[in-house]
């Protein structure tokens, strides 16, 4: 059996600033013609600064930080979505991430077809999805709507279906951005139980959250991010204290 790990060595990440400027051929050509007019300078955003971290098999890591501190960026970097601009990043193990659940349905296709597409997106085989299909439908609790196009679904139904598909398989490394609260109270309870079992199956968990009680109960290690820098790495309770101190929250 291979040993799963996440290893970051002085990882830096910049968001390209061009992405936030006006982006059209028209303005690009206009800029090429007249360059003198002064404009507010928008520079690249340095979202992760020299982050070095090693996470070994069996560790459950909680990520703390206020909004914009780099938690989501950190998770998406580990998931391999964002290109790092410096440093080294090594991941061993299959990564399963739950980020933006409501994204990525084909609105014209039926729920049943979308189970297939999303399963395939996650890298599953058509055969495996076929076996899991009934279970997914049952968990999502959508009833006859499963054969209707997704565009007829309510927002809650979409999230429920997405959650049901995305959590039907586990992975070695589980990345969670907030413990998901989806649908009504009834579904929430089911969802929490499902997440708990996924966490149990996984070898490594990285959870970004503001909810101290779930962090304390799920994680044994805490990492605090502040303005893209890692300012603390250690026991989860101390991490929560540091986080509160940095952000001036009295306990």
Partner 1 sequence: MNPNYIQGIWNTRYFWIHLSLSDLRSRWRRSFFGVFWSMLQPLGITLLISFVFSRFFATDITKYAPYILSGILIWDFLIANVTGGALSFVQADAYIKQCQHPLAIYTLRTVLTALIVLMMASVPLIGWVLVVMPENFGICWLSVLCVFPLLVLIAWPLATFMAYVGVRFRDLPPTLALAMQALWFVSPVYFEVKLFREGGLDKLVDYNPIYHLLQVIRAPLLQGEWPTIENYLFCFSTSILFFMLAIWLGSTAERKVIFYL
Where does this chain bind partner 1 (CB under 8 A)? 15-16, 18-19, 23-26, 28, 79-83, 97, 99-100, 103-106, 108-109, 113, 116-117, 120-123, 125-126
Among residues 72 and 209, whose Cβ is nearest to partner 1? 72
Q: How far is CA 166 from each of CA 54, 57, 107, rounded to the nearest angstrom?
A: 27, 23, 18
Among residues 120 and 189, whose Cβ is nearest to partner 1? 120
Among residues 19 and 155, whose Cβ is nearest to partner 1? 19
Smallest distance, Å, CB 177 to partner 1? 12
Among residues 114 and 202, whose Cβ is nearest to partner 1? 114
Among residues 100 and 147, whose Cβ is nearest to partner 1? 100
Cα(97)–Cα(106) distance, integer angstroms: 20
Smallest distance, Å, CB 137 to partner 1? 18
Smallest distance, Å, CB 15 to partner 1? 6
Cα(170)–Cα(124) distance, integer angstroms: 11
Smallest distance, Å, CB 99 to partner 1? 6
Smallest distance, Å, CB 26 to partner 1? 6
What φ, ψ does residue 124 adopt, rounded to 5°? Answer: -85, 160
90 pairs with which residues across the strands?
Answer: 7
């Amino acid at each position: 059996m291979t040993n799963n790990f996440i290893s970051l060595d002085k990882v830096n990440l910049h968001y390209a600033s061009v992405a936030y400027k006006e982006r059209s051929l028209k303005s690009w050509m206009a800029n090429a013609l007249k360059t003198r007019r002064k404009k507010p300078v928008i520079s690249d955003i340095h979202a992760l600064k020299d982050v070095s971290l090693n996470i070994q098999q069996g560790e459950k890591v909680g990520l703390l930080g206020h909004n914009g501190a780099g938690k989501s960026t950190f998770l998406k970097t580990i998931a391999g979505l964002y290109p790092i601009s410096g440093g080294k990043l090594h991941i061993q193990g299959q990564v399963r991430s739950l980020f933006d659940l409501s994204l990525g349905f084909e609105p014209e296709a039926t729920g049943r077809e979308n189970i297939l597409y999303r399963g395939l997106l996650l890298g599953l085989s058509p055969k495996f999805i076929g076996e899991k299909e009934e279970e997914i439908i049952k968990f999502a609790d959508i009833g006859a709507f499963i054969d209707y196009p997704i565009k007829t679904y309510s927002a809650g139904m979409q999230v429920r279906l997405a959650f049901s598909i995305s959590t039907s398989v586990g992975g070695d490394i589980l990345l969670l951005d907030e413990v998901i609260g989806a649908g009504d109270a009834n579904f929430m309870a089911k969802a929490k139980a499902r997440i708990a079992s996924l966490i149990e199956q996984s070898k490594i968990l990285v959870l970004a959250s503001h909810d101290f009680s779930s962090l304390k109960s799920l994680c044994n290690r805490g990492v605090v991010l502040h303005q893209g820098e890692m300012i603390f790495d250690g026991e989860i309770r101390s991490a929560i204290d540091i986080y509160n101190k940095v952000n001036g929250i009295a306990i």
